[in-house]
């Protein structure tokens, strides 16, 4: 392939483009309100146990609050992961962004790309993979059931469109 062809395939308009992100039901405002309430309740219980003389209990309430805060921080940190998927006539691209910001990119030829889905009778889609050229990658592993179904239909349709052109 010549350098001119590489530029053409990179600049080609995609048939399909999607950004996949994990769903988090609690937004930043809800997060702040939740921790204000949890902090107020912890302080109230700490005060009660200090007044009755059970001061060792105070450390457990503080530890509980710190552990709760740490769990939510880890949850929101992992929510920064995302995947950018695009399909053009000449290229299938999957860019995976880790919560740390590190990006890995997988490229496939749409004519040789296989999109495989594993289903469970009760749950629905449990995994999706793109493979081709001796390589494969999981896709949308953090999506919920409905989003997996929607993405699978749209991506399969885009892949079929790219092959038919």
What are the residue ranges spanned by the domains of the chain?
Answer: 3-22+81-164, 28-78
The pLDDT-based confidence of 19 (bands split at 50, 70, 90) is: very high
The model's pTM is 0.73
Q: Which positions ≥6 away from 6 have C-beta within 8 Å? A: none
pLDDT of residue 11: 57
pLDDT of residue 56: 86
Model pLDDT for residues 123-149, shown as the tens digit of each residue? 899 999 999 989 999 999 999 889 999
The whole-angstrom separation of Cα 82 and Cα 147 is: 14
140 token code pair: 């949308």
Q: Which positions ≥6 away from 138 have C-beta within 8 Å? A: 127, 128, 129
The pLDDT-based confidence of 3 (bands split at 50, 70, 90) is: very low
pLDDT of residue 10: 54
pLDDT of residue 106: 95
Provide the mean pLDDT of the chain.
88
Q: What class does CATH assign to 3-22+81-164?
A: mainly beta
Q: Which positions ≥6 away from 96 have C-beta within 8 Å? A: 81, 82, 83, 103, 104, 105, 106, 137
The percent of residues above 90 in pLDDT, for the chain, comes to 64
């Amino acid at each position: 392939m010549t350098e001119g062809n590489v530029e053409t395939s990179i600049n080609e308009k995609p048939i399909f483009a999607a950004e996949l992100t994990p769903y988090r039901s609690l937004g930043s405002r809800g997060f702040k309100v939740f921790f204000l309430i949890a902090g107020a309740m912890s302080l109230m219980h700490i005060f009660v146990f200090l007044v009755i003389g059970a001061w060792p209990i105070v450390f457990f309430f503080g530890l509980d609050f710190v552990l709760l805060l740490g769990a939510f921080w880890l949850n929101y940190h992992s929510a920064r992961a995302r995947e950018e998927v695009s399909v053009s006539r000449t290229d299938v691209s999957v860019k995976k962004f880790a919560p740390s910001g590190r990006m890995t990119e997988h490229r496939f030829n749409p004519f040789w790309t296989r999109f495989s889905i594993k289903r469970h009778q009760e749950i629905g889609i449990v995994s999706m993979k793109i493979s081709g050229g001796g390589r494969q990658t999981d896709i949308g592993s953090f999506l919920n059931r409905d989003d997996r179904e929607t993405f699978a239909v749209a991506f399969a349709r885009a892949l079929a469109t790219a092959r038919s052109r």
